[in-house]
Structure 1
């Protein structure tokens, strides 16, 4: 039983770079193709031409405008959400010396713990609408 164990390497140094050149060519061809488009040709693959680089450069030139338009869209969306939320908020004003309860955050309380803690005494009102509280 003359069994001989031989180890091989994936990279074979004497291959004069042919595999690397072939792989580079394949990768360049696949850069514009999504994995789903490899098996089933889409319109993007069928109508691909060498002028793609010029169109891509044009898209890159217009990228800043597209980002700005998206930013404006996001800001408008945030404003609509804030207005929707503000319609449901009931404004309450407290005076110095009033006793109030403070809501406990969900992550700080257990399933059967109360939702409110206190009472706390209002000792100062800030211009932003926040209050400094003191244990009563």
Structure 2
């Protein structure tokens, strides 16, 4: 009898539509290791100077040094010479630059390895809270109601979920294409975090 009561409650339409929105990840973190160097070279003009010359946690290097093979001389060092700027001669500068250019590939490889390690640490931390949920083609689902689509007149009695919709296809990485029960396609794909299974 208890099992029957639980099954009956699980299929309650109003209960499903008013259910709280879970903030627990439903899909593991999907990583994409970007190419260091060329990507940074394209983005350098768009980024603030301070950001270019600040070492990043992920790589342990400044973006400037990864692209150009040497640390930047900041404008204040030219006006008020520091030991690094004041003690360098043109000949020594050429030797240092040649040395930096010879070792730039190793520096970038080291940064790439460190970034991969950093991303694995972030993914491990994120994935330990994941409660995997998957859907199959044909499943009925409810879609999260967003602030801009919520019925403002309903106040606190507004639904948290709308639908039901049918899963039309799997896009990949926890994303699904939906269609209405009348067979009309819903625009764009939807992530599993914005969907929940609907029981009838």
Under a length normalisation based on structure 1, what TM-score does the superposition of the two structures give?
A: 0.56
Task: Name the SS for the 1:122 alignment partner.
Answer: strand
Task: Report how many residues are paired.
Answer: 102
Q: 2:95 aligns with which of 54, 73, 83?
A: 54
- Give me the CA root mean square deviation: 3.2
Please state if 1:68 is matched with 2:109.
yes
Following superposition, the deviation at residue 38 of structure 1 comes to 2.9
Partner of 2:131: 90
Q: Which protein has greater RCO, CA pairs closer than 8 Å, 6+ apart?
A: 2
Deviates more, 1:113-122 or 1:49-58: 113-122
Distance 1:124 1:55, change over 3 A: closer
Partner of 1:44: 84
Greater Cα radius of gyration, structure 1 or 2: 1
Please state if 1:101 is matched with 2:142.
yes
Please state if 1:118 is matched with 2:163.
yes
Following superposition, the deviation at residue 101 of structure 1 comes to 1.4
Task: Name the SS for the 2:123 alignment partner.
Answer: helix
Structure 1, gaps ≥5 residues long: 1-31
C-alpha distance in structure 2 between counterparts of 1:79 and 1:51, whole Å: 40
Q: Deviations over 1:5-45 (max 9, x none)?
A: xxxxxxxxxxxxxxxxxxxxxxxxxxx85320233220112
Partner of 1:24: none
Distance 1:74 1:42, change over 3 A: same
C-alpha distance in structure 1 between counterparts of 2:169 and 2:114, whole Å: 39
Under a length normalisation based on structure 2, what TM-score does the superposition of the two structures give?
A: 0.41
Task: Name the SS for the 2:128 alignment partner.
Answer: helix
